[in-house]
Amino acid sequence: MLIGVLGLQGAVSEHERMLADCGAKTRRVKTPEDLNGLDGIVVPGGESTAIRKLLVRESMLEPLRDLVAQGLPTFGTCAGMVLLAQPESLAGIHADVERNGFGRQRESFESDLQVTGWETPFHGVFIRAPYLKSVSAPAEALITLDDGRIVAATEKNVLTTAFHPELTGDKRFHQYFIDEFVKATTKTA
């Protein structure tokens, strides 16, 4: 199993470490050629505008959007969620995204999150984080805060979180991505 981590900018090595801890091989994706032969891809946190501009400049935006549309298992955190929710970027999930939705860095926060079906809460680290105002079918909200803001959501082959599982020592989201998205796809293929 080979999982790519989009490596143009942002918290790339943190995702690589988490995926390696889950037993996956990783490849840092910096050129269109690096997209070949992947079983899944992670779009990491970073600055979404900077990552988007680099994707366009390296002629990777369209090939990656096509792969996502064709069913490549994709996990986006923070900036990754923004790019996957923007129709003009990766268009991986039907959702209305609010960039920097919680405010500036001063308002960045940590909070425990309840995930349906998980025994203990997941510790969410939100850094100038986005949120989803709404999702529409076939997208589904996975974690919704008390005030209605959606901070994790899925759609078919796509998993997104507004927070950074890669900054905690908790592997559950990466494991969930591998088990329920990557392995599920590999089996049916």
Partner 1 sequence: MVETGTTLVKRGMAEMQKGGVIMDVANVEQAKVAEDAGAVAVMALERVPSDIRAAGGVARMSDPAMVESIMNAVTIPVMAKCRIGHIAEARILEAIGVDYIDESEVLTPADNNYHIDKNDFKIPFVCGCRDLGEALRRVGEGSSMLRTKGEPGTGNIIEAVRHMQKVNEQIRQVTSAKPEHLMAIARDLRAPYELVKQVHDLGKLPVVNFAAGGVSTPADAALMMNLGADGIFVGSEIFKSENPAKFAKAIVTATAHPTDYSLIAEVSKNLGNPMKGIELSTLTDDQKMATRGVE
Look at residues 51, 136, 133 and name the one whose alpha carbon lies nearest to residue 96: 133
**176 is a contact residue toward partner 1 (CB under 8 A):** no
Could you give the CA distance from residue 120 to residue 118 in angstroms, rounded to a whole number?
6
> Does residue 13 have a known ligand-binding role?
no
**185 is a contact residue toward partner 1 (CB under 8 A):** no
Contact at 8 Å (CB) between 74 and 41? yes
Could you give the CA distance from residue 114 to residue 152 in angstroms, rounded to a whole number?
11
Q: By CB under 8 A, what part of segment 30-59 binds partner 1? A: 30, 45-47, 49-50, 53-54, 57
Active-site residue 166, yes or no?
yes
Active-site residue 94, yes or no?
no
Residue 37 tokens read as 């032969």
User: Considering beta carbons, is residue 40 or 101 the nearer one to partner 1?
Assistant: 101
Could you give the CA distance from residue 120 to residue 160 in angstroms, rounded to a whole number?
20
For residue 76, list its beta bridge partners. Answer: 43, 160
Q: By CB under 8 A, what part of segment 92-121 binds partner 1? A: 99-100, 104-112
Given 15, 78, 155, 174, the catalytic residue: 78
> Does residue 46 have a known ligand-binding role?
yes
Residue 84 tokens read as 């996957």
Binding segment for partner 1 among 61-69, 126-134, 152-160, 180-188 (CB under 8 A)? 126-134
Which positions touch partner 1 (CB under 8 A)? 7-14, 30, 45-47, 49-50, 53-54, 57, 78-79, 99-100, 104-112, 125-128, 164, 167
